[in-house]
Amino acid sequence: MKLKEYQNKRNFQVTPEPEGREESSPSGRRFLIQKHAASRMHYDLRLELGGVLKSWALPKGPSLDPGQKRLAVHVEDHPLEYGAFEGTIPKHEYGGGTVMLWDEGVWIPDGDPEEDYRKGRMHLEIQGEKLRGKWLLFKMGGQKAENDKNWLFVKSKDAYADAAPDGLLEMDRSVSTGRSMEQIAADAEPGPKHAQIDPPSVTPTAQENTRTDAMPDTVHPQLPTLVDVPPEGDRWFHEIKYDGYRIIAFLKPGSIRLVSRNGKDWTSRLLSLVHALSEFPVSDAVIDGEVVIQMADGTTSFQALQNSFEGEKKTGTLLYYVFDLLYCEGHDLSKNTLQERKNRLRKLFDKMPSGSVVRFSDHVAGSGPLVYEHACRIALEGIISKDSLSPYQQKRSRRWLKIKCQQRQEFVIGGYTEPAGSRVAFGALLLGVYDEEENFRYCGKVGTGFNQRELISLKKSMSGLERKHTPFINPPKGAEARNVHWIDPKLVAEVSFTGWTREELLRHPAYKGLREDKSPLEIRRETQRPRHDVLDENSEPEQLEQGQSSTSPSPPKTSPKQIRLTNAERVYYPELGITKADLAGYYQRISEHILPYLIRRPLSLLRCPRGRGRECFYQKHFSESLPKYVREIPIQEKKSVEKYIVIDDIHGLVSLVQLGVLEFHPWNAREDQIEKPDLIIMDLDPAPDVELAQVVEGTVLLRDFLDSIGLKSFLKTSGGKGFHVVVPLVRRTGWDEVKAFARNAALRMTKMYPDRFVATVSKKKREGKIFIDYLRNGRGATSIAPYSTRAKTGAPISTPLRWEELTPQTAPDKYRIDNIEQRLARLRTDPWEDYFNTSQSITKSMEKKVEP
Is it the case that residue 535 has pLDDT exceeding 50? no
- Compute the distance between CA of residue 32 and CA of residue 157 in angstroms, rounded to an integer: 21
pLDDT tens for 674-714 read 999 999 999 999 998 999 999 999 999 999 999 999 999 99
Chain Cα centroid distance, residue 806: 33
Is it the case that residue 549 has pLDDT exceeding 70? no
223-404 has which fold?
Answer: D-amino Acid Aminotransferase; Chain A, domain 1 (3.30.470)
Answer yes or no: 241 catalytic: yes
- Compute the distance between CA of residue 393 and CA of residue 396 in angstroms, rounded to an integer: 8
What's residue 105's pLDDT? 86
In three-state secondary structure terms, 662 is strand
**Active-site option among 241, 402, 512, 769:** 241
Q: Rounded to 5 degrees, what are φ and ψ at 248? A: -100, 125
What's residue 142's pLDDT? 64
CATH number for the domain running over 679-849: 3.90.920.10
203 CB-contact burial (10 Å; exposed 0-12 / middle 13-18 / buried 19+): middle
Please report the DSSP string for 794-828 in residue order. T-BB--EE-GGG--TT--TT--BTTTHHHHHHH-S
Question: Is residue 714 within 8 Å of residue 708, measured between CB atoms?
Answer: no
pLDDT tens for 434-461 read 876 678 999 999 988 888 888 998 999 8
Q: Which of 80, 72, 64, 102 is nearest to 2 (CA)?
A: 80
End-to-end CA distance of the chain: 93
What's residue 486's pLDDT? 94
Per-residue confidence band for 803, with pLDDT thresholds at 50, 70 and 90: very high
Q: What is the mean pLDDT of residues 722-727?
A: 96
Helix axes 650-658, 580-589, angle to 10 degrees: 170
Q: What is the mean pLDDT of residues 381-394?
A: 88
- Who contacts 189 (Cβ-Cβ below 8 Å, separation ≥6)? none
246 vs 614, more confident: 246
Is it the case that residue 178 has pLDDT exceeding 70? yes
pLDDT tens for 63-111 read 888 888 899 999 999 998 898 899 999 888 898 999 999 998 889 888 8
Pairing of strands 331-332, 382-387: unpaired
* DSSP E strands, 453-564: 484-497, 499-500, 506-507, 510-515, 542-543, 562-563
Is it the case that residue 606 has pLDDT exceeding 90? yes
Q: How many CB atoms lie within 10 A of CB 240?
A: 24
Question: Is residue 697 within 8 Å of residue 703, measured between CB atoms?
Answer: no
What's residue 194's pLDDT? 35
What's residue 691's pLDDT? 92
The amino acid that residue 738 corresponds to is V
pLDDT tens for 201-230 read 333 333 334 456 788 888 889 989 888 788
The amino acid that residue 390 corresponds to is S
Domain boundaries, the chain: 4-200, 223-404, 418-522, 541-576+598-666, 679-849
- Compute the distance between CA of residue 397 and CA of residue 389 in angstroms, rounded to an integer: 14
- Compute the distance between CA of residue 793 and CA of residue 578 in angstroms, rounded to an integer: 11
- Compute the distance between CA of residue 332 and CA of residue 340 in angstroms, rounded to an integer: 12
CATH entry, 418-522, from 3.90.550.10, 2.40.50.140, 3.40.390.30, 3.30.70.1140: 2.40.50.140
- Compute the distance between CA of residue 318 and CA of residue 746 in angstroms, rounded to an integer: 72
Per-residue confidence band for 27, with pLDDT thresholds at 50, 70 and 90: low
